[in-house]
Chain A
């Protein structure tokens, strides 16, 4: 983008100064709204502004890593505000918990992209014109170019100036230059040559692809959706809205987008590390055997779902994101009827699958029942009486519960967290501090609640998995644009745009004098190497011995010093 700025700066004094001066002389022009807009646009699309916005974007992204973010974890944000009442709210009003969708972050990247478009479009037009026009005219004094050299063809070779220029043109064409020969019939024929147009093309592709990536992300946000579901062994998930435990639709989502495929969890296996000292008992492999159906009538297929290895169904991907134990219980109410039977998902709380259990039995009669407690796959009790889980596997499974009766508050239909039991309006039946004590169950055992409220039996343990289901129609395009961006980046950094001019003339004594100069556009540390290579090619074209006149072999002339910028 520098070139544009440079060109503007350079051309302004040449072309614009007079007009400007005339204007100033006439009357100071008042800046109308139109001029203001133009001025703002020029400022916005300048390289300096783009650089400033770019650095500002980096700084603005940082707070998102310092404060908890709502999209990642809303519960943590709520807790954070509670824990820091003094400044928690203030941060919220500054949108510091939603940094990446905040007004200020959006403003920065939108301005950056507008600036980028304002930069790319004129440059694309200019480059299109440059690609369709001839190389610039031959400078008067080639010796002023950063790379300069001369060659002398002896008179006996019989190559006149016009032949020499055509020979040079042929060579340069072969080397990939676009060449124009000028004045080949005259006394001082010359040629202009240029190559490396792909550099600017790469540059434009890179920046345009970044816009593509942004648009793809937006498309994903509009038309995508994601959701979570917990599946106990034996459970089946059907891809409909009611099938999800939690569902986050994109802005433009419609439930008709869901294809009713099904996934059944047959078995879930975990391998634990039994080798290394420090990590003993750490899981090293999760593997879920599932049966899938593309739609209700399709044939069933056996598949394996693993971490890092999602399964794809109906345009969505299904990821294994969590797991745990689900103790299977049967609860009979005071009337002796089965009020609840099945696995209860235990929520992970600590090491070795130390998990919390909440059971709500709204169907129990005459009183609704509630249980809250812990599940331990390998129960141990310390001397102080504190229970902990000694191993992640089911060596000594234990369910310890408190029980309550009363109104669970589920009848009004207001949603409740299934993992939490609000005991405020309930009467405790079993607890450690009560006469009846707490309930401790091993698989196969059962317990009769006091006061004839019913019984609970612990029938066995199943495993459950948590799956995330994602559909993002934009992500393939994001990948394509990202790959295009990298390709463009590599081209723009490693293709060199160069111009070469050659001029020939006939000396009085019949020798043909050749001079050439090279100019790079942008950073080009191989320009000197290119000059040497061209020199070699030209010399062999005219069969000149390389070490002929010493004065011509060095490009360093008083006017063209090998300055420090000629880095190797």
Chain B
């Protein structure tokens, strides 16, 4: 039998969610400020470097030429590895990008530090909101759309902060935090549901396993979606600069090259794809337990399958000539749009066995 409902806890939870959204908003502004400020600072550094390079180029012009040539004559196998054509020119072409490793640089970026600190604070408050919601309902906090959104936003921010420990992905801050704000606002405005018991169909330990993996994978897909979108912009910018055009997207200096974005998003996508495979499998096992068949082409099953196939296509595209780079990035973006569609439109407007939006 389910535990009792605690309405007071539920009200605390809603207060925490609001506070978290407020904190995130300030963090968002700080991240945006960081982008603007750093792009200015980097431009100044670039100008200096360009002058120095100009001077150097005159003296070692011949050497630079030979270097460029040998760059092309790699071993035959090199071409097997996916690469964005634009990425190559990054160093010589002049489109300045951040460190390809996405490691932290020595230079301190005050606004970014403030933004991260605020995001951590927001995440703590947000976490308290998720926990009080769980306590108030006496169960895992993902039984309806309000709870998916609030918990999902928390997981997305938490994953982002965890990745920040190892890698300097602060350039994604505006995106991730902005998305978390949108999710929290949408949850509170459009999907608000008071704390309540689960319907019998959801009372299963598979709810904990299946949905938590789905939320985690979606959070990872969120990161890769942001990176793929930036990759497209960066790739366009690199091409423009390489072709001698003017660099109109100064803030993209803070973002790594298209190729490094592609490589890192691929690595995150492989993890998320395995997670999504498990989501699909555990969903099938649960469906067998609840409805008597492991696969019945229910609308939600269809869309989970579509997402799986699109990301499978993405993984294959990365290994297919002519499909790496921009096209793969588009597949990653299409996959994420399917995730969003599956969550919003399918849950609310499509009739199916997964109609648990709680609305």
Residues of A that sit less than 8 Å from B by CB: 1-3, 5-6, 9-10, 47-48, 50-51, 54-55, 57-58, 61-62, 64-65, 69, 71-72, 99-100, 139, 144-146, 217, 226, 271, 273, 275-279, 282-286, 306-310, 317, 319, 321, 468-470, 472, 475, 478-479, 482-483, 485-486, 489-490, 493-494, 519-523, 525, 558-559, 561, 563-565, 567-568
Contact = CB atoms under 8 A, between A and B. Distances in A.
B80 A282 contact: no
Given A65-B299, A308-B290, A567 B310 contact: no
A57 B302 CA distance: 11
Contacts of B197: 273, 275-276, 279, 282, 284
Contacts of B317: 51
Nearest to B78: A146
A7 B296 CA distance: 41
Contact of B292 (A65, A278, A470, A489): A470
A71 B289 contact: no
10 contacts: A1-B320, A100-B297, A226-B293, A282-B196, A307-B201, A319-B292, A470-B293, A493-B274, A525-B263, A563-B88
Contacts of B296: 71-72
A522 B80 contact: yes
A62 B81 CA distance: 33
Nearest to B280: A482
Q: Which 5 pairs show the lowest CB-CB distances between chains A and B?
A: A2-B319, A58-B309, A470-B292, A307-B200, A65-B299
Interface in B20-59: none
Interface in B312-346: 312-313, 316-323, 331, 346
Contact of B289 (A64, A69, A309, A482): A309
Given A308-B203, A523-B82, A217 B295 contact: yes
Contacts of A61: 302, 305-306, 309
A564 B90 contact: yes
Contact of B80 (A2, A69, A276, A558): A2
**Most chain A CB neighbours (cut-off 10 Å) among B75, B198, B284:** B75
Given A55-B331, A472-B294, A559-B70, 10 more contacts: A54-B312, A62-B306, A469-B292, A479-B294, A486-B281, A489-B273, A523-B266, A564-B100, A564-B259, A568-B102
B246 interface: no
A71 B293 CA distance: 13
Interface stretch (B1-9, B212-220, B247-255): B1-9
B277 interface: yes
Nearest to B327: A51
A279 B278 CA distance: 32
B83 interface: yes
A519 B75 contact: yes
B77 interface: yes
A567 B101 contact: yes
B277 A64 contact: no
Contacts of A559: 70
Nearest to B102: A568
Contacts of B284: 482
A319 B291 contact: yes
Given A285-B1, A286-B200, A308-B201, A568 B292 contact: no
A469 B313 CA distance: 37
B245 interface: no
Residue picked from A139, A486, A523, A525, most chain B C-beta under 10 Å: A523
B292 A47 contact: no
B292 A1 contact: no
Nearest to A316: B292
Given A284-B2, A565-B259, A58 B310 contact: yes
Contacts of A523: 81-82, 266, 318-319
Contacts of B75: 139, 144-146, 519
B76 to A, nearest CB: 7
A522 B267 CA distance: 13
A453 B305 CA distance: 59
Contacts of B318: 523
Given A523-B318, A568-B101, A486 B274 contact: yes
Contact of A62 (B1, B103, B302, B316): B302
B320 A64 contact: no
B297 A64 contact: yes
Contact of B198 (A145, A284, A310, A565): A284
